[in-house]
């Protein structure tokens, strides 16, 4: 039986992916702050360590790891966005690699965002702190920022861009370990996260009013379908790649970059 560990399994894309795997008869071990087999707060060192040790107690080998846990710009303190989206995700990837190495056709997928490259952020001290993997400094910069609204936008975009780089930087080590690692970069998707943004007048106005060439928002199950494909043996040559799933929005905004 295929064994999958998933973060963010309680809601949205994570819940949709979970359903998809379970329909195929897979065993899914969810990690979430609520409604999951393993309850863990991935914003904290203790929560991450608890998640990793709980997975190790439950299985000796892992076939798939899917990371969907994430927070958007509504999160306060703002630093939670960096701690969950980037530091928590990377810690789990690295902490569970040794189990994935023992799995069958092992693969991991992390959830990024199509917006990760729309804002120049490379030179920002916050982003540099992410690249140095300096969580204390990243947290300090975000929580001391004079404008929490602006800081939240930077926190989110930076967390996803740094996570995409983390995926690509691991191509050799993970490839040599026999474990494929890829990212999906969704556009706006009909999940509780997106609804929470739409329900808040301040945040709603901050959502880029982007045209979607295909004319509609993603359904969570459409993202789940891409994740499931990337995890499957049919994707055996795909590794270190980022897949946009946004109805063509990123292509519209950055037609010359891919």
How many residues sit close enough to ligand NAD to count as binding (CB under 6 A)? 28
Reported as type and span, the H/E element at residue 3 is: strand 3-7
Q: Per CB under 6 A, which region of 5-13, 99-107, 120-128, 136-144 contacts ligand NAD? A: 5-13
- Cα dihedral 194, 15, 80, 149, rounded to 10, equals 0
For position 139 contacting ligand NAD by CB under 6 A, the verdict is no
Contact predicate 119/157, CB 8 Å: yes
Is the bond into 77 cis (omega within 30 degrees of 0)? Answer: yes
Give me the catalytic one of 86, 126, 156, 244: 156
What is the DSSP secondary structure assignment for residue 219, as one 8-state letter? Answer: P
Sole binder of ligand NAD in the list 14, 103, 106, 153 (CB under 6 A):
14
Q: Per CB under 6 A, which region of 142-150, 174-182, 188-196, 231-239 contacts ligand NAD? A: 188-196
Angle between helix axes 89-100 and 45-58 (nearest 10 degrees) is 20
Identify which of 95, 98, 111 has the alpha carbon closest to the alpha carbon of residue 8: 111
For position 33 contacting ligand NAD by CB under 6 A, the verdict is yes
Burial of 215 (0-12, 13-18, 19+ CB in 10 A): exposed
Residues 140-179 interacting with ligand NAD (rule: CB under 6 A): none
Q: Which is nearer to ligand NAD, 34 or 257 (CB)?
A: 34
Q: Is 126 a catalytic residue?
A: no
For position 28 contacting ligand NAD by CB under 6 A, the verdict is no
Q: Which is nearer to ligand NAD, 75 or 235 (CB)?
A: 75
Contact predicate 126/35, CB 8 Å: no
Contact predicate 20/82, CB 8 Å: no
For position 93 contacting ligand NAD by CB under 6 A, the verdict is no
Sole binder of ligand NAD in the list 1, 23, 25, 34 (CB under 6 A):
34
CB of 178 to ligand NAD, least distance (A): 26
* Residue whose structure tokens are 């076939």: 63
Q: Which residues are catalytic?
A: 156
Applying CB under 6 A, the residues found at the interface with ligand NAD are 8, 10-14, 32-34, 41-43, 68-72, 84-85, 111, 113, 186, 188-189, 191-194
């Amino acid at each position: 039986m295929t064994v999958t560990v998933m973060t963010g399994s309680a809601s949205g894309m994570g819940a949709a992916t979970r359903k998809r795997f379970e329909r195929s008869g897979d065993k899914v071990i969810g990690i979430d702050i609520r409604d999951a087999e393993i309850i863990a707060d991935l914003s904290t060192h203790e929560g991450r360590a608890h998640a990793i040790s709980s997975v190790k107690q439950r299985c000796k080998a892992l076939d798939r790891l899917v990371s969907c846990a994430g927070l958007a710009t509504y999160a306060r303190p703002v630093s939670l966005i960096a701690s969950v989206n980037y530091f928590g995700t990377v810690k789990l990837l690295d902490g569970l690699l040794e189990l994935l190495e023992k799995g069958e056709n092992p693969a991991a997928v992390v959830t990024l965002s199509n917006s990760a490259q729309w804002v120049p952020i490379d030179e920002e001290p916050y982003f540099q702190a992410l690249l140095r993997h300096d969580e204390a400094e990243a947290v300090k910069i975000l929580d001391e920022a004079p404008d929490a609204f602006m800081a939240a936008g930077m926190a989110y975009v930076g967390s996803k861009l740094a996570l995409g780089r983390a995926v690509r930087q691991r191509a050799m080590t993970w490839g040599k370990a026999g474990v494929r690692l890829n990212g999906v970069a969704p556009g706006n998707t009909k999940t509780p996260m997106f609804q929470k943004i739409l329900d808040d007048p301040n945040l709603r106005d901050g959502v880029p009013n982007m045209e979607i060439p295909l004319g509609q928002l993603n359904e969570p199950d459409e993202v789940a379908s891409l994740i499931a494909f990337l995890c499957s043996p049919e994707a055996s040559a795909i590794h270190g790649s980022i897949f946009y799933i946004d109805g063509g929005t990123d292509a519209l905004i950055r037609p010359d970059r891919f």
